[in-house]
Amino acid sequence: MYDGLGNWPGFMYLTEGEKPDYEVMEERFRELHPDCKSGRWGTGGSRMRHCCLCCPPPPVGPAQIEKLTRLFKTFPPAEERKKDLDAWELILTCDHVTTFIQHRENTYVRRVVDCPECQMRRGVVASKRLGPAYTDDGLEAARSEVGQARVVAELTKAKEHLRRQQQRAAATSSRIEELQKQLSPTARGDGIA
């Protein structure tokens, strides 16, 4: 566990005398862990290296447990931390609208997210902060607010899409009338000779 030889310097800083020792240690490690692709760990002041997969670190002592307990007690509870999360409305390249929750201090949104409807990664075309993702009333109230905002956004988008389609249909209808006027009466099918 501990050999007392001190830490290895970075590989590029090894002296010519240290390089053979380092190579011997590496070869021994590979012999002991031929199938191990995991990371390595060691203790300060020791050149011994151990595999993270098959050589777990020694158990934590009582003093360290007390120190960790004090450290974790300083964190606010999970319910309190949820109040710092904001919901964002994202319009994706597939024209679907989804919500994304992140910490309030983040003022940017990812450029690519998973679309829940397409089940694919999509780019973010536009984003809008909706406000707190969680409220004092709990998650359900926040979800309903976010859900309402999403439905309003989808409804607005659908109405705009319908308006554009109606404009195109009107333009096509006008074009058909113009073309029919250009035809001779017999070609139009009026039956008037």
Q: Is 16 helix (H, G, I), strand (E, B) or coil?
A: coil
Is the pLDDT at 192 greater than 80? The verdict is no
pLDDT attached to residue 30: 86
Q: Tell me: the pLDDT tens digits for 67-91?
A: 989 888 888 777 777 888 888 888 9
- Using CA atoms, how far apart are residues 42 and 58, in angstroms rounded to an integer? 11
Specify the pTM. 0.39
Model confidence at 170, pLDDT cuts 50, 70, 90, reads very high
**In which order are the strands placed within the sheet that holds 97-103?**
97-103, 85-92, 120-132, 112-115
pLDDT given at position 172: 93
9-43 confidence digits (pLDDT tens): 888 898 998 899 889 988 888 888 887 777 888 88
The first and second tokens of residue 155, run together, are 């409804």
Domain boundary assignment for the chain: 1-70, 79-179
CA dist., res. 70 & res. 177, Å (int): 82
Q: Which ranges of 59-189 does DSSP label H, i.e. alpha helix?
A: 62-73, 78-82, 139-182, 185-188
Whether residue 166 has pLDDT greater than 70: yes
pLDDT of 190: 54
Cα of 140 vs its chain's centroid, Å: 23
